[in-house]
Structure 1
Amino acid sequence: MANPPNGGTESRGGPKGAPAGDGRGAAAVRKLGLHTDPSIFFVSAGLMVAFLLLVLLLPTQINDAFTAGRDWIVTNLGWFFILGVTAWLIFLVWVALSRYGNLRLGGDDSRPEYGNLSWFAMLFAGGIGTVLMFWGVAEPISHFANPPQADVAPHSVEASREAMNFSLYHLSLHTWAIFTLPGLAFGFFIYRYNLPLRVSSVFYPFLKDRIHGPIGKTIDIFAVLGTLFGLAVSLGLGTSQIAAGLEVLTPLPDSVGTRVLVITVLTVVAVSSIVAGLDKGVKRLSNLNILMAVGLMLFVLFFGETVFLFRQIFESTGRYLESIVGLSLWNDSMAGYTKDGGWGWQGGWTVFYWAWTVTWAPFMGVFLARISKGRTIRQFVGGVLLAPSVFTVVWFAVFGWSAMRIDGIGGDGGALTQKVIEEEQVPLAMFEFFSNFPAVTLIQGIAVVVVALFFATSSDSASLVVDMLCSGDEDPGPVRQRLFWGISEGMLAASLIVLGGDTALAALQQVITVIGLPIFILACIMMFSLAKGLKQESHAVYALQFKEMQRRARLADEAERPSEEAVAQKS
């Protein structure tokens, strides 16, 4: 195993507890009792505060700027997002099946720290749990009532099948490929090369020791900001759904003020888990969260059309796998001839999903690497790609097909279509859906709690990771340091809600598409960096194996060669 120069403890800025760097930044870090890289921490925090001030002082101008930026990106670079994620998925499958699959994320004798169940619960709850709760009903109904393909009739059998295919395309293998690629790269370079726990470490094959300089720190600052904005979008979606649920269950109206109140309360819950740390806080919340989510899914499965749903789980899996090649490369290039032109549908769905998800790539990558240390590359890729994807298929088959059956396949649409499409009340879709089941108030209340827990697990996981990205150390930093990031995430999410007002979802899409572009470019370079690192590792392993073969051959030759004493006796 090759160890790069200036890696290991030297790259961490000294012994644990000593702040990295020197000069005024290091003095400020020591004075505040922090353990972090001053350049990354203060610049990231300063840029975030500057954005919050701009939103407060110039909301209209900021909104217009993000709208123009998003329109340009989806029109000119939408194809780049679609091709890029597909390339990452193919690359990951190749790596897992290649000779590199047996390499461990860590030393050759390292073993996993977490059991499979806790590992899956943490990666899922920290990943797209909020997304599945928000879109589990809303996305299939959206595509069912407004099919992406122009020649498909709304609410038809074909529309229902297409709706399920697109929903699975957006939230199964491709989404988890966006998480798996950085997770694999971080685990490989951080634990096998003993580099700091930072995004810049992934680019060591290209940058070498410059990962510790201005270029590396710039990459890390982008990663921290991307993580904060990506989380803010997820928290915004989750908050919208919680506020919609509270409007159904309580006298509270679904307003901007209610959403800000929800963010405030849940941020307090999240920072409480942050203080407890990864093993106690995140692990416990994640396990509870996944159990409650599975409970909701089983409720729908057994109190709905059970036989029909079991059949659709298998059939939807087959149709998804059958269509995945076409979906992976389809970019609606004929939109100008068949519809209104432009990137309207795919810009609002696929490109938004990939831009949004990739802003989570630094957070999820470091988080996955941290909880996956000791696993082989094949175990990591197989687990992170396949296990959540299988769960996603089952989740959408249960919720999506139930929703489309309730809305009326072959008809003109029902209450769900009215809420999601006509009234554009997307956050209410799940609650309208549950109104068709027994114990409606209880189930809607449980749904609100599940979304809130997903909110908390996402927030506390991201806060711990942002702290790690700034310090370069997997050990938790001081409590005040982690509290700062947890509170900051809540404030950023609240500011985006206020910026968007009644059209908060559209505003969140615009912001995240613009922020996601530079992170997406970094992730593309990351794939080539990982390929180069694996190749160098392979050469080093082969060199050691060749030397070992030579040594054994020499010993065997010496054992077979008669000794001088035996030759003398024979003569």
Structure 2
Amino acid sequence: MSQTKKMLDPDPRIYDFETEYELGQDNVRPFGLDIHNPVFLISSILIFAFVLIALANQEAAATFFGWLRPWLTSTFDWFLVLSVDAITLFCLVLIILPVGKVRIGGKDAKPDYSYAGWIAMMFAAGIGIGLLFFGVMEPVYYNFAEDGNAVPLGIDIAVPGNEYAGIVGTIHHWGLEGWAVYAAVGLSLAIFSYNLGLPLTLRSAFYPILGERVWGWWGHFIDTLAVFATLFGLTTSLGLGAQQVAAGLYEVFGIESSPTVVVLLIIGITMIALGSVLMGMDAGVKRLSEINMIMAVGLFIFVIVVTGVGTAISRYFNVMTDYVLHLPALSNPFGREDTSYFHGWTTFYWAWWIAWSPFVGMFIARISKGRTVREFVICALLAPTAVCALWMSTFGGAAIDMLNAGGAEGVRATVIDSYAPEGALFGFLKELPLYGIVAPIALILIVVFFVTSSDSGSLVIDTITAGGKMDAPVIQRVFWCTLEGLVAIALLLGGGLAALQGAAVSTGIPFTLVVLIMCYCLWLALKSEKAKM
């Protein structure tokens, strides 16, 4: 037996959840809870301390996070971009190599969900409110609000005839490379859990190089870092969603936005998420994800019909062609002159995607048993890229056309004249028919995305802190769902958008190294599984 195979054949006694872990992995059950003691206690204590300090020192927190994000993104830009490049190439190679035939859960495993349900949950968890928040704002911002700076296509965004360059820059942030990070983490967790019988937690993916040490402090450190990355990546999205809901309430019902309104929104939506938590996976997350997809598809169809199907399709193929042609330039961290785009947006996005990767990766791993590696990577990488690009080119492209024609004053006011990006979607919808009907639907859709992300995130964090158990008591998910809301409130009051983004970047950068090592361990595991076939 080769050394690699020995390392990938762990003692199955360690993973018997009916008894306490041997080799030092102790599960304790105070008050009926089932928690993986070091990770749960360390994570919860540190996060509570962060919330208290941020709320007690809001001005200092705002100053700190205002400095933190630009410093991190300008210092570690090359590391983030090269790492995401490497992860993307690794995932694409898995599609064409023989290891793509390996089936998650073994050769006889059957999928737990239909294609429609599986992709709906994957997409809803992986995107959250991103499409609704950035779909109009980001392409417009690159085209009109950068004071003559160029997007990384060698095209000045102010030049007539290149009006869709901003859409290409947006697709870069919501396309292939971001989803590759999710796919790499999700596939690693799925293979090590369903094929090798290890707990569904981040430390399991490091068994090939750490061996039994994954059940000691090395493993505790990896899982704790994953909890922080997940929590701060998730609360960034929750904070953005709350701001957009507040903007929607003003547009639809005339309710003035304020910090108090945003805090009340986070509390209210967290309560709805708690209801979803109590309903369970199939009745809660799955049902909400399917509702998300139906409403999102309905909104998309409405927009594409009223703004011109033919124009949208032509625009889509043009910007996708430009995206593919310029992807090498977009992915190159050296010699960049577009510092505003590169440091202000790209490096932040990569850190944010990586911070989200434990959350989305574990969630899609949990629902992907029975799929082949090739099937998993294609559905988790290529399909979402195509859909995100279609959404961005349709919404952002229509807004750009309106602005070039002298319209879309609501978009101009929120993106160009003053930076209030949470109102861009509703400013765009004002230009379309049936605004009184469509705007409330969009508002509900944002809320449902918000709830789905919170529910899914609490499920993932609970699984990590419970040592990989997938049937821990519901009260633990209630605890983490509540804590997510508290962290989002603390960050919004302690610095707003800058604080949210700074927290995501600060955890995403160190977790990048974790993802790179996971890819290497995944490769070892897939070679072993292919040999068994």
The answer to whether 1:10 aligns with 2:5 is no
State how far apart, in whole Å, the 2-side matches of 1:8 and 1:249 are. 57
Listed one character per residue, the Cα deviations across residues 156-209 of structure 1 (whole Å, up to 9, x for unaligned) are: 445422101111110011111111110111111111111111101111111111
**What is the 5 A alignment of 1:309-348?**
309-330=312-333, 333-334=336-337, 343-348=339-344
Listed one character per residue, the Cα deviations across residues 19-73 of structure 1 (whole Å, up to 9, x for unaligned) are: 76899985xx423211121111111111110101110222333333334433332
State how far apart, in whole Å, the 2-side matches of 1:122 and 1:390 are. 17
The answer to whether 1:527 aligns with 2:528 is no
User: Which residue of the partner structure matches residue 164 of structure 2?
Assistant: 161
User: Which residue of the partner structure matches residue 256 of structure 1?
Assistant: 259
State how far apart, in whole Å, the 1-side matches of 2:446 and 2:288 are. 12
User: Which residue of the partner structure matches residue 481 of structure 2?
Assistant: 486
- Partner letter of residue 33 of structure 2? L
Contact 1:195–1:201, Cα closer than 8 Å, also in 2: yes
The answer to whether 1:305 aligns with 2:308 is yes
State how far apart, in whole Å, the 2-side matches of 1:155 and 1:292 are. 35
Q: CA distance change for structure 1 residues 155 and 245 in 2, over 3 Å: closer, same or farther?
A: farther
State how far apart, in whole Å, the 2-side matches of 1:480 and 1:412 are. 51
User: Which residue of the partner structure matches residue 198 of structure 2?
Assistant: 195
Listed one character per residue, the Cα deviations across residues 54-93 of structure 1 (whole Å, up to 9, x for unaligned) are: 1022233333333443333222211111111111111101
- Partner letter of residue 422 of structure 1? D
User: Which residue of the partner structure matches residue 393 of structure 2?
Assistant: 397
Q: What is the CA-CA distance between 1:506 and the residue it aligns to?
A: 2.2
State how far apart, in whole Å, the 1-side matches of 2:311 and 2:187 are. 38
Listed one character per residue, the Cα deviations across residues 86-121 of structure 1 (whole Å, up to 9, x for unaligned) are: 111111011121010000111221121111110110
State how far apart, in whole Å, the 2-side matches of 1:435 and 1:23 are. 60
State how far apart, in whole Å, the 2-side matches of 1:19 and 1:58 are. 42
Percent identity over the alignment? 35
User: Which residue of the partner structure matches residue 561 of structure 1?
Assistant: none
- Unaligned segments of structure 1, at least 5 residues: 336-342, 546-571
Q: CA distance change for structure 1 residues 415 and 59 in 2, over 3 Å: closer, same or farther?
A: closer
State how far apart, in whole Å, the 1-side matches of 2:93 and 2:294 are. 33
Q: CA distance change for structure 1 residues 22 and 536 in 2, over 3 Å: closer, same or farther?
A: closer
- Unaligned segments of structure 2, at least 5 residues: none
Cα RMSD (Å) of the superposition? 2.3
State how far apart, in whole Å, the 2-side matches of 1:412 and 1:156 are. 19
Matching residue within 439, 443, 451 for 1:444 = 439
Aligned residue for 1:160, secondary structure, equals: coil
User: Which residue of the partner structure matches residue 515 of structure 1?
Assistant: 507
Q: What is the CA-CA distance between 1:345 and the residue it aligns to?
A: 3.0
User: Which residue of the partner structure matches residue 149 of structure 1?
Assistant: 150
Contact 1:35–1:478, Cα closer than 8 Å, also in 2: yes
Q: CA distance change for structure 1 residues 285 and 424 in 2, over 3 Å: closer, same or farther?
A: same
User: Which residue of the partner structure matches residue 369 of structure 2?
Assistant: 373
Listed one character per residue, the Cα deviations across residues 471-516 of structure 1 (whole Å, up to 9, x for unaligned) are: 234533112111001111111111111112xxx2222222211121
User: Which residue of the partner structure matches residue 465 of structure 2?
Assistant: 470
State how far apart, in whole Å, the 2-side matches of 1:275 and 1:181 are. 30
Aligned length: 525
- Partner letter of residue 371 of structure 1? I
User: Which residue of the partner structure matches residue 216 of structure 2?
Assistant: 213
Give the TM-score normalised by the residue count of structure 2: 0.93
The answer to whether 1:424 aligns with 2:425 is no
State how far apart, in whole Å, the 2-side matches of 1:145 and 1:399 are. 16
User: Which residue of the partner structure matches residue 274 of structure 1?
Assistant: 277
User: Which residue of the partner structure matches residue 553 of structure 1?
Assistant: none
Aligned residue for 1:188, secondary structure, equals: helix
Aligned residue for 1:477, secondary structure, equals: coil
State how far apart, in whole Å, the 1-side matches of 2:238 and 2:20 are. 31
State how far apart, in whole Å, the 1-side matches of 2:164 and 2:335 are. 18
State how far apart, in whole Å, the 2-side matches of 1:334 and 1:39 are. 46
- Partner letter of residue 323 of structure 1? H
- Partner letter of residue 457 of structure 1? T
